[in-house]
Amino acid sequence: MAFVGPAGTGKSQRASQVARQHDIHFIIDDGLVVSKGRIMAGKSAKSENNMVRAIRRAIFQYQDHRDEVMHFLAAQAPCRILIIATSKKMLFKILEKLRLPKPLKIIEITDVASPEEIDSALRERREKRQHVVPVARAQIQRNFAGKLVSQLRDLFKSKDKEDSRTVVNPPFSFDGRLTIEEEAIVDMVRHLAVMGTYIQNIHEINLNTDDDVLDIDIEVDIILRDRNVVFIARLLQKKISAGLSFFTGMEVKNVNVSVNEVIL
């Protein structure tokens, strides 16, 4: 099943309640697999230090993270899972990455919360920049890199003593949109390429982007100096890949270097 609603509308606050009502075993929320207030597998997107990495963490784009969660779920099958997502687009990205079937039911936040409750949750998010994680406080202290604020008690009356929620301050805010224009990425590639003494000229830089994954084609003239062509091309690949990954948080899949001219 799926639980869908915009960021800050109170999904994580109500996730345990929804799970109980539908006899669900595990909740997938922001990169974590949670059961009755305990982290079973994964890593929280709220522990990342920038928004791009957090988004990629939440939709399981990191191979080791994805493999860990898939292995855990496979060992639990058959089981019922509730996936929390900010949109149906995000939901289907998670399903694709984790190779899960389409949900039997999609529950909207408006199905379980009143307009007044949603407005109140959004106002809390804007004013306090705090996020709720459906996990017990001790679990968060061991797994979360941000600042622990407090644990919510009796937010919703429940006989389930294992139902826990914790309020955290992430190192950044999820609010708003982040757009990195292709021209900005090209500028970074150009700057990284000319660092050092081997690149004489850059003729062309082309980008292909797909779901925050980059493919880069660059055509250059190189100066051999004390190194051969293959060494210089591979060095350029590593510089561009590592630099873009660090500065943007995006995944660099390929850096294709074409040598137009060699200067002795």
pLDDT in tens, 225-263: 888 999 999 999 999 999 988 887 777 889 999 999 999
- pLDDT in the model for residue 154: 39
Q: Could you give the percent of the chain with pLDDT greater than 90?
A: 42
Closest by CA position to 250, among listed 224, 220, 212, 222: 212
Residue partners of 70: CB distance under 8 A and separation at least 6: 98, 99
Q: Could you give the percent of the chain with pLDDT greater than 70?
A: 78
- pLDDT in the model for residue 155: 40
What average pLDDT does this structure show over 151-175?
A: 47
Class of domain 182-263: alpha beta
CB 203 within 8 A of CB 194: no
What average pLDDT does this structure show over 125-135?
A: 59
- pLDDT in the model for residue 151: 41
- pLDDT in the model for residue 209: 80
- pLDDT in the model for residue 12: 79
The verdict on pTM exceeding 0.85 is: no
Instruction: Express each pLDDT in 196-218 by its tens digit.
Output: 889 999 999 999 887 567 899 99
- pLDDT in the model for residue 55: 84
Average pLDDT of the chain to the nearest whole number = 81
Who has greater pLDDT, 145 or 187? 187
Q: With a cut of 90, say whether residue 101 has pLDDT above it.
A: yes
- pLDDT in the model for residue 17: 86
Where along the chain do its domains lie? 2-169, 182-263
- pLDDT in the model for residue 158: 43
Amino acid present at 186: V
| Pairs from 14-17 (Cβ < 8 Å, separation ≥ 24) | 14/109, 14/112, 14/113, 14/156, 15/82, 15/84, 15/134, 16/134, 16/156, 16/158, 16/160, 16/163, 16/164, 16/165, 17/112, 17/156, 17/158, 17/163
CB 166 within 8 A of CB 136: yes
Burial 62-81, CB ≥16 within 10 A → b, else e: beebbebbbeebeeeeeeeb
- pLDDT in the model for residue 7: 82
Instruction: Express each pLDDT in 15-46 by its tens digit.
Output: 888 988 999 999 999 899 988 878 899 988 87
Q: With a cut of 80, say whether residue 184 has pLDDT above it.
A: yes
- pLDDT in the model for residue 102: 93
- pLDDT in the model for residue 159: 44
